């Protein structure tokens, strides 16, 4: 039984005896006692004044005195205005620790057949370029959200929508066709997504050159763009693609296959995956059909040039194009089709889109349009909007080839972790294979943690050097603490200390403040997981784990564990250490981060 549950039962009984009243559930409110006051758990007295009909201080004193006399969990109390601060007895903390220890999945709920199904869309790459740092944040956030939702007992379907059609795709295809000379991933030695991305940059370079030539002939920027033969060829290619031109489709299939193989390698490195992948090339026609149906029902309207629009002024928005004049689709059309297909494929209770905050307006519009089309789930979709990620040097631009490539970033992080670990002497006596594995775990852990510890709604600057630090609020610091605890247990084995027998010998232990605080932090884990799921906020898990690790390290430096003379105290500290390690593993796993046993 949780300490709060025990206190609630005693408080209810006390209110009956003291005031002849039974409280409602929401009248008993607990919070963690503020650090400047003595105590562990605070009862907010104000909601109970209707029952006591007395001053807050008097009510707190009477309830506190009752609990101190009648509840074994309460050792002492003090009242500060309308707050009753309760100090919990050591026996109750030990019992709570043993309950946490007995549950290998403490903090997690089981998924049942009746669990709601949550679909989470993330990644959403374009097939004209490789994944970059912005995609890394998207993938890590989406994957963490999926794991957190599973942890609170939801069924989860992880999905991806690949943007494999459109003018941007045709730009890469046209550049390869004009300048590629038959180059392939095999002939060039490049990953397929990198190769295709190079031609996207190449198109932009040739396009800019053409624009400058036209401007030198006296044309304005706008006139030059209108007369660009290169852009016209790209638009013509898109129309041919939509008409099913065999040659264009063959080129498109070949280059997309290159990209997909490259994406899969990157996803594997990042440790993310998907249950279902949708492709815009397969969903935009479904969306177009829905738009045409909406047009017939007068939900949308057609302009003189033939383009189809929706007027959302009554909803506080504006007018939005759904089909271009030439009949080609826009992103909104594709998203309508994808949503329809998804809800046909799965009995979704909640749909979460992990997409950057520059698309906030897009998802406001999508929600309204889906609702207008009669899809009940439209108005309930969730846009998990996150901020941009930049480097200390500033923003990145795909067209100019100045983005930070995801593969390069991962390799850089692993190499930096390797160099730092060797320099600090942490990998002495390791084999080369062991060094590489620890470097992989630490490098990726540093990358993932640095990105996920920041509230997703905020823009952030990713600094590779700061992220790899073995001190402070970083992944390596947390990973090292886990390895340190594992080392304690390897030494315990050498002392013939069996963990199961250790748990039998912890009688009459008087806990110090650090031990009590650590147990209370461990107990908070399930609350944090629930909060992270409700608020769509993986950073709560990251920063909770860091706070736990920081508290444990202070405890580790102040108190002996294996060399503690009192056997019961030593055993209690071993159990406490084991559950800190377990919670670190669980917390980091929710973020998609591995923790080594040695480093």
Domain limits of the chain? 3-88, 122-390, 406-590
Q: Are 207 and 230 in contact (CB under 8 A)?
A: yes
Beta bridge pairs of residue 87: 76
Residue range 10-68, pLDDT digits in tens: 999 999 999 999 999 899 999 999 999 999 999 999 999 999 999 999 999 999 999 99
Torsion of CA 424, 426, 427, 429, to 10 degrees: 110
pLDDT band at 1 (very low <50, low <70, confident <90, very high): low
Q: What does the alpha-carbon distance between residue 339 and residue 360 come to, in Å, rounded to a whole number?
A: 17
Question: Residue 374 pLDDT more than 90?
Answer: no
Model confidence at 215: pLDDT above 50? yes
pLDDT at 501: 86
3-88 topology per CATH: Gyrase A; domain 2 (3.30.1360)
Q: Which tokens go with 24?
A: 């409602």
How far apart CA 329 and CA 324 sit, in angstroms, is: 6
**Is the predicted pLDDT of residue 401 greater than 70, yes or no?**
no
User: Could you give the 3-state DSSP secondary structure of residue 272?
Assistant: coil
Which CATH number does 406-590 carry? 1.10.730.10
Q: What is the residue whose two structure tokens read 């046909």? A: 344
Query: pLDDT tens digits, residue range 178-194?
Result: 999 999 999 999 999 99
Residue closest to 83 by CA, chosen among 61, 104, 65 = 61
Mean pLDDT of 459-471: 88
Distance CA 380, CA 367 (A): 8
pLDDT digits 0-9 by tens, 245-277: 999 999 999 999 999 999 999 999 999 999 999
For 86, the 3-state DSSP assignment is strand
CATH superfamily, with its number, for domain 122-390: HUPs (3.40.50.620)
pLDDT of 396 reads 43
C-alpha 259/C-alpha 438 separation (Å) is 29
- Model confidence at 230: pLDDT above 70: yes
- Model confidence pLDDT, tens digit, residues 284-327: 999 999 999 999 999 999 999 999 999 999 999 999 999 989 87
Percentage of the residues of the chain whose pLDDT score is greater than 90: 87
């Amino acid at each position: 039984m949780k300490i709060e549950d025990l206190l609630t039962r005693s408080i209810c009984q006390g209110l009956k005896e003291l005031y002849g009243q039974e409280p409602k559930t929401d009248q008993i409110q607990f919070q963690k006692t503020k650090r400047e006051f003595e105590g562990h758990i605070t009862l907010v007295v104000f909601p109970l004044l209707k029952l006591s009909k007395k001053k807050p201080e008097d009510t707190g004193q009477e309830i506190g005195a009752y609990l101190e006399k009648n509840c074994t969990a309460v050792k002492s109390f003090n009242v500060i205005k309308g707050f009753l601060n309760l100090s919990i007895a050591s026996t109750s903390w030990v019992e709570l620790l043993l309950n946490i220890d007995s549950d290998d999945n403490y903090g997690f709920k089981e998924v049942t057949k009746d669990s709601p199904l949550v679909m989470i869309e993330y990644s959403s790459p374009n097939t004209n370029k490789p994944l970059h740092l912005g995609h890394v944040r998207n993938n890590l956030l989406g994957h963490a959200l999926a794991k957190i939702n599973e942890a609170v007992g939801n069924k989860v379907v992880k999905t991806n929508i690949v943007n494999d059609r459109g003018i941007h795709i045709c730009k890469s295809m046209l550049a390869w066709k004009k300048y590629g000379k038959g180059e392939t991933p095999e002939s060039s030695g490049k990953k397929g997504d990198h190769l295709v991305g190079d031609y996207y940059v190449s198109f932009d370079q040739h396009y800019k050159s053409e624009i400058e030539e036209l401007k030198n002939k006296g044309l304005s920027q706008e006139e030059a763009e209108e007369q660009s033969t290169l852009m016209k060829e790209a638009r013509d290619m898109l129309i041919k693609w939509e008409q099913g031109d065999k040659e264009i489709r063959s080129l498109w299939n070949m280059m997309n296959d290159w990209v997909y193989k490259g994406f899969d390698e990157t996803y594997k490195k990042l440790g993310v995956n998907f249950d279902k992948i949708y492709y815009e090339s397969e969903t935009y026609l479904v969306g177009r059909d829905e738009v045409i149906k909406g047009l017939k029902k007068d939900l949308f309207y057609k302009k003189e040039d033939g383009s189809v629009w929706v007027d959302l002024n009554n909803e506080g928005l504006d007018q939005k194009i759904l089909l271009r004049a030439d009949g080609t689709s826009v992103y909104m059309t594709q998203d309508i089709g994808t949503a329809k297909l998804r809800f046909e494929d799965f009995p979704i209770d909640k749909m979460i889109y992990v997409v950057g905050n520059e698309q906030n307006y897009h998802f406001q519009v999508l929600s309204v349009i889906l609702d207008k089309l009669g899809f009940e789930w439209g108005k309930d979709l969730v846009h998990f909007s996150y901020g941009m990620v930049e480097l200390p040097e500033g923003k990145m631009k795909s067209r100019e080839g100045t983005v930070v490539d995801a593969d390069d970033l991962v390799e850089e992080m692993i190499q930096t972790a390797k160099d730092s670990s060797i320099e600090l002497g942490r990998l002495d006596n390791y084999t080369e294979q062991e060094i590489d594995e620890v470097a992989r775990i630490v490098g990726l852990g540093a990358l993932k943690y640095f990105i996920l510890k920041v509230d997703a709604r905020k823009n952030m600057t990713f600094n590779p050097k700061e992220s790899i630090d073995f001190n402070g609020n970083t992944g390596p610091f947390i990973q090292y603490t886990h390895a340190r605890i594992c080392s304690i247990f390897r030494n315990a084995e050498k002392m013939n200390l069996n963990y199961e027998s250790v748990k039998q010998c912890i009688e009459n232990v008087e806990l110090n403040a650090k031990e009590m605080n650590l147990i209370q932090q461990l107990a908070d884990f399930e609350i944090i997981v629930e909060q992270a799921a409700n608020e769509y906020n993986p950073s709560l898990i990251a920063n909770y784990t860091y706070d736990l690790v920081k508290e444990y390290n202070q405890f580790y430096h102040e108190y002996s564990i294996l060399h503690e003379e009192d056997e019961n105290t030593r055993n209690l500290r071993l159990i406490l250490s084991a559950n800190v390690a377990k919670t670190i593993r669980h917390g980091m796993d929710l973020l998609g981060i591995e923790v080594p046993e040695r480093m």
